[in-house]
Amino acid sequence: MPCKTILASSVSAKFRREIKADIDNRKIRPKLVGFLANEDPAAKKYAEWTAKTCAETGVEFELRKVDKQELEDKVDEANTDPSVHGIMVYYPVFGNKQDDYIQNCVRYLKDVEGLCHKFVYNVYHNIRYMDDSQSMKCIIPCTPLACVKILEYIGVYNTVLQYGNRLYGRTITVINRSEIVGRPLAAMLANDGAKVYSVDITGVQLFTRGTGIHQKEHEVKDIKDTMEQVVAQSDVVITGVPTPKFKLPTHLLKDGVIAMNFSSFANFEDDIKTRASIFVPSVGKVTVAMLERNLLRLYDYQHEHIEKTVT
């Protein structure tokens, strides 16, 4: 069978080595605090992965289990604690707009998940730096960033093209339009030059920088095409449907497609390898590596901010 399976552990290994070496060489101890305020099995599994990876790379990780009604106050305490360099919350907590509010309670200089308004705005508007001197790269949401790093690893990004345009000519479908992963991922891929079909239960949207990718940032259009139609056109199909009931029929896929799943459930059928050239069954370990990568970046930003304030 010609299909190649790419495991998240293989992709994350390089990043984990770099993170560990950086921490060891600089003799630093960045601290990440995770807040668990739900009983969701996927959130608990993510917390376990985070703790294990942090222990291996030298990051200090503290999981704080709190009642959801106390979560905002506990996040505020961590915001003002100088010993805490990164904060994350395991979602969903309330399962509604209140989760959006909690995301914006995390101080942006400690937002390792990249979910606060400032960072999300930058993703959608293709702003890649936090300052005019371009010395502070933006923090990118972890799972979308993990998907991008995997696509780079397997060669979907064309390094012959200019940085920022390396997905030009690629057609990608993302089946999930959540504000946590699906929508920012579609925006990032479109900002890098791809034609992106974003699919959810309400229909299909097209994310693109226009013909010849002449626009600085992507635009979004509602289109009448169905999921079945856009999947058949796509070089890459990325799924993230959070239910075991959803299975994308293999016969819909283009022959030689690259198939990636970021859901905690298997969204592709068991025979996916009969149609795909590359299959990525999960991205979790890369997500955790991106979390630590963001943490190191924020650690430096916080210390630079303190130094500027003191001087």
Which of helix, strand or coil describes residue 200? strand
CA dihedral 165, 140, 119, 29 (to 10 degrees): -140
pTM of the model: 0.92
SS3 content of the chain, % helix, strand, coil (to 5): 40, 20, 40
Q: Angle 166-209-119 (CA atoms, 0-180°, nearest 5)? A: 80
Residue spans of alpha helices (H) in the chain:
8-26, 41-57, 71-79, 97-103, 117-124, 142-153, 182-191, 227-233, 284-310
Residues 172-181: tens digit of each pLDDT: 999 999 989 9
Do residues 250 and 273 make contact, with C-beta atoms less than 8 angstroms apart? no
User: Residue 139 and residue 274: Cα distance in Å, rounded?
Assistant: 37
Residues 6+ apart with CB under 8 A from 26: none
235, two tokens:
């070089």
Query: Which residue in this structure is represented by tokens 């805490």?
Result: 84
In tens digits, what is the pLDDT along the chain, a chain of 311 residues?
689 999 999 999 999 999 999 999 999 999 999 999 998 888 888 899 899 999 999 999 999 999 999 999 999 999 999 999 999 999 889 988 899 999 999 999 999 999 999 999 999 999 999 888 888 999 999 999 999 999 999 999 999 999 999 999 999 999 999 989 999 999 999 999 999 999 999 999 999 999 999 999 999 999 999 999 999 999 999 999 999 999 999 999 999 999 999 999 999 999 999 999 999 999 999 999 999 999 999 999 998 765 444 33
Q: How many CB atoms lie within 10 A of CB 232?
A: 16
Which positions are annotated as active-site residues? 142
User: What mean pLDDT value characterizes the chain?
Assistant: 94
